[in-house]
């Protein structure tokens, strides 16, 4: 209620007609417009689909951190294993999400520091150069393992 909340995306039909969420829906977006929205946002809330079965690492996480925005994402066990803890903030339920939104809206410098850390990490660790090196080592290992067995 105290923040200028807007959201984009699919699922408006699943929201009750009387819900205040309907008034904040901005439609569906993609491409450059979507990245501009991420960049202009103080906080981008991320969730993942039920079918992910508790494994969170969707494209939105990388897009939001990549443009240097603050990511607040639903917690999942794999996040601790796959990412340093200073790149984004997680929430466990709706109350925790709201508490963290309010906290980080009041603590701008901390929010910006986390957003910058996420962007720096992606630039350094998730570039195409890094990705190709990782894929190359996986292919090499599979290739050599195949011939060791034969």
Question: What domains are there in the chain, each with its CATH number?
Answer: 12-149 (3.40.50.2000)
Which bin fits 68, alpha (ψ -120 to 50), beta or left (φ > 0)? left
Token pair 């350094």 is at which residue? 124
The number of CA neighbours under 13 Å toward the Cβ of 139 is 6
Of 20-24, 54-58, 80-84, 87-91, which range is least confident? Answer: 54-58
Does pTM surpass 0.85?
no
pLDDT at 104: 98
pLDDT at 36: 96
């Amino acid at each position: 209620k105290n923040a200028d909340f807007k959201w984009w995306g699919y699922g408006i039909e699943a929201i009750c007609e009387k819900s205040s969420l309907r008034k904040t829906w901005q439609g569906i977006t993609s491409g450059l417009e979507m990245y501009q929205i991420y960049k202009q946002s103080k906080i981008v809330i991320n969730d993942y689909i039920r079918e992910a079965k508790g494994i969170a690492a969707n494209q939105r996480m990388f897009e939001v951190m990549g443009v240097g925005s603050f990511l607040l994402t639903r917690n999942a066990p794999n996040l601790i294993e796959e990412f340093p803890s200073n790149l984004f903030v997680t929430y466990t339920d709706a109350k925790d999400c709201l508490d963290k939104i309010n906290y980080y809206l009041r603590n701008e410098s901390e929010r910006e520091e986390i957003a910058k850390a996420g962007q720096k990490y992606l630039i350094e660790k998730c570039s195409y150069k890094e990705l190709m090196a990782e894929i190359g080592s996986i292919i090499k290992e599979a290739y050599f393992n195949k011939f060791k067995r034969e």
